[in-house]
Amino acid sequence: MTIKETVRKYSQKLKYVTHIPAKEIEILICHLLDKNNIWLHINYNSTFEKEKELEKLVNKRATNYPLEYIINKASFYGESFITKEGVLIPRPETELLVDNAIEILKNRNCKTKVLEIGTGSGIISVMLALLIEDIEIIAVDINQKALDLAKQNAIKHKVSNKIDFRYSNLYENVNEDDIFMTISNPPYIANDYKLPENVKFEPSNALFGGNIGDELLKDIIDSTYKRDIKYLLCEMGYDQKQPLENYFKSFDIKNYEFYKDYEKFDRGFTIQFN
């Protein structure tokens, strides 16, 4: 059976779990053959000899198990990152959080210290280290598996010298007093929210933020303000703008802005404290 015929056959098994079944079969084939998409299409009519291995992966994906965990890879900000079960999978909308940080950091003419709370696979810290030359980053998490993976991604992208990875619950193990910016994509989903099937495979402590969902976000705002840190940038839930905006009134804030994601949902904010 050719690669083309294989894609046609096995994409039928994924038509109820993804809107791009044929594309996902191609990704799995490339993963098995250690080839890229260009090679695949040049050789579309060649014989495919790993059908048994592919069938096993397709059957796993058909249970809604995330593709990124199967191939141990995800794309973020145009770069490839290692992904592993037990660590949150990178989302495209988090690129907007990185964009907002870069807008603030790019014009500074001195070394800048940034704290990332809840680094996960390290995508935010790694991208900031790649895109901002004179930067020093502290990246914390309460998931040791996430910290180990983030270190791997920092090494892969050759920026491990710029990032200090630490086990810490929020600011618990962060004593520096010269942090310019805190950035975070924290858990912000309400505890009783029913997750889509594929998301259920991801770690709950990276998703659920409390009974309402914004409790952890408010803790981060409060702690960042008390630390006298100038900027705070966070991702948030689509329905949290109004309660958070009300919460901002408790603080001495110079300016704040909310932003929307690619689907035009409210997705995050930037605070500049006085």
pLDDT digit string (tens) for 47-62?
Answer: 999 999 999 999 999 9
Amino acid in position 220: I
What is the predicted pLDDT for the residue at 109?
A: 83
Q: Which domain does 138 fall in, by range?
A: 88-273
177 and 57 fall within a common domain: no
Tell whether 36 is covered by a domain. yes
Strand-pair partners of 2: 47
Residue 180 within any structural domain of the chain: yes
Count of domains for the chain: 2
Does the residue 215 lie in any domain? yes
Q: Are residues 124 and 217 in the same domain?
A: yes
Instruction: Check whether residue 35 and residue 130 sit in a common domain.
Output: no
Domain assignment present for residue 70? The answer is: no
80 within a domain of the structure (yes/no): no
- Do 57 and 95 sit in the same domain of this protein? no
Question: Taking the complete model, does pTM exceed 0.85, yes or no?
Answer: yes
Do both 146 and 204 map to the same domain? yes
The whole-number pLDDT of residue 271 equals 98
220 and 177 within one domain: yes
pLDDT of residue 107: 86
Whether residue 73 lies inside any domain: the answer is no
CA 146 to mean position of chain CA atoms: 11
In the chain, which residues have pLDDT < 70?
A: none
Question: Does 144 lie in the same domain as 203?
Answer: yes
56 shares its domain with 141: no
Whether 241 and 178 share a structural domain: yes
Q: For residue 79, tell me if it sits in a domain.
A: no
**Of 15, 30, 63, which residue is a domain's last?**
63
Residues 46 and 143 in one domain: no
Within-domain flag for 239: yes
Do 95 and 56 fall into the same domain?
A: no
Tell me: the pLDDT tens digits for 130-176?
Answer: 999 999 999 999 999 999 999 999 999 999 999 999 999 999 999 99
| Domain identity same for 37 and 156 | no
